[in-house]
Chain A
Amino acid sequence: MNGEAPSRMAWYDRLQKIDPRIIYLVVFVLVSIPFFVPIPVKMEVSPVVKKLYDKVEQIAEDNKRKKGPEKFVLLAMDWSPSVKAENQPQTAAMIEHLFRRGVRFAIMSHLLPEGPMMAERIAEHIAKKYNKRYGVDWVNFGFRQMRFADYMAFVRDMYAIISKDYRGTPIRDVPMMKNIRGLRDFALVFDVTGSGAYADWVYYAQPEAHFDIGVGVTAIIGPSIRPLIDAGQVVGMMEGLSGAAQYEQLLNIRGQASRGMGSQNLAHLWVIVALILGNIGYIASRRREKKLKKELK
């Protein structure tokens, strides 16, 4: 890499200077293998995923036993195609769960117009399995850009902000909406995002409407949600692809996340191997330097 002929480099220097192209090639190969050789995965379900699952189960049970007015779930689809690999399986797992338990839901996004579009396709696909119909079992509000104080308006008068659904139908003509007076009828907001969109729901909407919030986030965002879970502001989380795979396991399905975990498994192992190799080289070169220094003295 520095113009040095490889044969002159000591083994510990070569370990520290593996050509990035080789690293990329190994990543490519390892990620591709499970596409052709399915690797079954069984995972330990983390408590944060279980809490989210239990929340949906609780809503379903309450609705079934008619404990108060019917409660709904709002799917805030604040994700774009770029984070599809992680957020799409999370969305699919949640929609599967909601359809299976008969919990009606609404889809919307306040951040990205693509989210409701992609969620709609997932919902339509899964709806066939459970004989669910648009307008009766779910509704799509589409994209409504909101920031900060707009949430206060949204919470206080949802119909002032949402006048039509995603298909252009006046919202009050959608059959499902007859049972929804406002945002306070939603027991859970499940925000799927690859950015900090959950913060708007937690800090601006939740204090007004008092619903629970669950999140499906890319793995990189996951650590920042932990304090919110601890404080009770977020009830549960699907963290990255593994979170979605754990949720699928709870649902006893082998979906996109479970199939993708094979690739993630191998890629993570390669990262660990690369770290170990680099550090073996580093430690060996440090020892060599110390030895040389001693000899010079």
Chain B
Amino acid sequence: MHATYTMLILTAVFSAPIVLYILRARAGKGEIYIRPIAGLSAIDEAVGRATEMGRPVLYSTGLSYLSIEGLCAVAILSHVARLAAKYDLRIIVPVNSYLLYPIAEEAVREAYADVGKLDLFKAEDVIFIPGQFPYAAGVVGIMHRERVAATFFFGYFAAESLILAEAGSQVGAIQVAGTPDILQIPFFITACDYTIIGEEFYAATAYLTHEPTMIGSLRGQDIGKMILATLTILLLVFGLLMAFAPKTFFSNWLLDLLLR
């Protein structure tokens, strides 16, 4: 399958604001505001609490593989690992994907190195557990045995999300979860203290680093969404016109254009 003209134009229309705002942000033009995201702000609180209790934290990437969700999860892991390293806190990272595993291990190692505590890094704390429910069973076991004080669930989760979240709740850990998969959100909201929903997960990298490039990209995404919403409303209006006046040239015009 190759792109139609409409696909090309739409790709350009959605990509242009993203690239444009990234370039603007890099040039330092204009300040872009990101509203506070409670779940991400809570990461510091959670790590702080774990430090006071002297118990480790657990960071689960769920079933994420080498995909956008997985890479976002690793970016957030990097931030959490840096915080943990700063407070001499142990961070346990069970990873389900063999593709993501070396990246996650490297991220944690780099985080410890950044704060000058590479000697505290333990490679065996980044654990590879394949399989969906073996992963769930393994992580639940780790939570209970290590008595983790804080758990972070970031990435792609499926049915095991509730098992993980309930187990964390049973050990009394403070829990922060974030996943772009809307189906698991109800389970995380039920069992976790803070939940990051949908696109807030993608915004997390920008939010945590306050990197202008990332914030610019976020702004570009919002513009793209507004364009999409406008297009949807226009199509709805034309759709209604087509339903009531099917032979009108005007009402067929937009749909013909989009289907070309």
CB-based contact B183/A80 at 8 Å: no
* Segment among A166-174, A219-227, A245-253 that sits at the interface with chain B: A219-227
Q: 6 tightest A-B contacts by CB?
A: A207-B1, A82-B133, A195-B158, A208-B1, A220-B183, A82-B132
Q: Is A218 an interface residue (CB 8 A)?
A: yes
Kindly list chain A residues whose C-beta atoms are within 8 Å of the C-beta of B182: 224
Q: In the complex the two chains form, what is the Cα distance from A147 to B99 in whole Å?
A: 12
Name B residues whose Cβ lies closer than 8 Å to a Cβ of A.
1, 63, 65, 131-133, 156, 158-159, 181-183
- B159: which A residues are within 8 A, CB to CB? 82-83, 194, 218, 220
- Bound: A81/B63 CA distance, A: 16
7 contacts between A and B (CB under 8 A): A80-B133, A82-B133, A195-B63, A196-B156, A207-B1, A220-B183, A223-B183
Please classify the interface of chain B as helix (H, G, I), strand (E, B), loop, or mixed, using the class held by over half of its residues: loop
Closest A-chain residue to B161, C-beta based? Answer: A220
When A195-B63, A195-B158, A208-B1 are in contact, do A224 and B132 touch as well, CB less than 8 Å? no
Majority secondary structure of chain A interface residues (helix, strand, loop or mixed)? loop
15 additional contacts (CB under 8 A) given A208-B1, A223-B183:
A80-B131, A80-B132, A82-B159, A83-B159, A194-B132, A194-B158, A195-B63, A195-B158, A196-B156, A196-B181, A207-B1, A218-B159, A220-B183, A221-B183, A224-B183
Interface centre among B131, B132, B158, B182 (most CB of A within 10 A): B158
Q: A221-254: contact bitstring with B at CB < 8 Å (1 yes, 0 no)?
A: 1011000000000000000000000000000000
A195 B132 Cβ-Cβ under 8 A: yes
Chain A residues closer than 8 Å to B181, beta-carbon distance: 196
> Contacts of A223 on B, CB cut-off 8 Å?
183
Give the B-binding residues of A (Cβ under 8 A): 80, 82-83, 147, 194-196, 207-208, 218, 220-221, 223-224
Q: Which residues of B contact A220 (CB under 8 A)?
A: 159, 183
- Output the nearest chain A residue to B99 by Cβ-Cβ distance: A147
Question: In the complex, A239→B12 CA distance in Å?
Answer: 37
Chain B residues within 8 Å of A194, by CB: 132, 158-159
User: With a CB–CB cut-off of 8 A, which chain A residues contact B65?
Assistant: 147
Min C-beta distance of A191 to chain B, whole Å: 15
Q: Which residue of A lies closest to B170 (CB)?
A: A20
Question: A36 → chain B, closest Cβ, in Å?
Answer: 27
State A138–B131 Cα separation when bound (angstroms).
Answer: 28
Kindly state the separation between the CA atoms of A218 and B132 in the bound complex, as whole angstroms: 14
Please name all residues of chain B whose beta carbon is closer than 8 Å to the beta carbon of A195 when the two chains form the complex.
63, 132, 158
- Which one of A82, A196, A207, A224 has the greatest number of beta carbons of chain B within 10 Å? A82
Measured CB to CB, the closest approach of chain A to B160, in angstroms, equals 9
CA distance A270 to B182 in the complex (A): 26
B97 to chain A, nearest CB (A): 11
Question: For A221, what are the chain B residues with a Cβ–Cβ distance below 8 Å?
Answer: 183
Q: Which residues of A contact B1 (CB under 8 A)?
A: 207-208
| A154 CB → nearest B CB, Å | 13
Question: Shortest CB–CB separation between residue A141 and chain B, in angstroms?
Answer: 22
A100 to B141, CA, bound (A): 46
Q: How far is the CA of A195 from the CA of B133 in the complex (A)?
A: 12
On chain A, the residues within 8 Å of B133 by CB distance are: 80, 82
Q: For B183, list chain A residues within 8 Å (CB).
A: 220-221, 223-224
With A and B bound together, what is the CA distance between A207 and B2 in angstroms? 9
Task: Chain A residues near B158: list those with CB within 8 A.
Answer: 194-196
Q: Which residue of A lies closest to B187 (CB)?
A: A220
- B156: chain A residues at CB < 8 Å are 196
Expressed in whole angstroms, the Cα–Cα distance for A208 and B63 within the complex equals 27
A251–B257 Cα distance when bound, in Å, is 44
Task: For B186, give the chain A residue with the smallest CB separation.
Answer: A220
